[in-house]
Amino acid sequence: MPQIIFTCPVTGDDVPSGIETERASLDQMAPEEITLVCPHCGRPHTWQINQGRLEDAFPEAR
């Protein structure tokens, strides 16, 4: 399954969450927050689940 990708607000790079889900599951997820330590800038970031995208999906397709 594809994993959810977030965007680092500092560098703009993709941050893989390690959470794998299906598109339907992503759409149905509760608006939880997730905090990850960013591999790009080394700081923790908090995102809403619904700010993520699937790694095999193009942003413009949403």
Closer to Zn ion by Cβ: residue 23 or 38? 38
Is there a contact between 5 and 16 (Cβ–Cβ < 8 Å)?
Answer: yes
Helix or strand or coil: residue 40? coil
Q: Which of 10, 48, 50, 51 is close enough to bind Zn ion by CB under 5 A?
A: 10
SS3 content of the chain, % helix, strand, coil (to 5): 20, 40, 40
Binding mask 16-45 for Zn ion (x = CB under 5 A): ----------------------x-xx----
Q: Which of 8, 29, 34, 49 is close enough to bind Zn ion by CB under 5 A?
A: 8
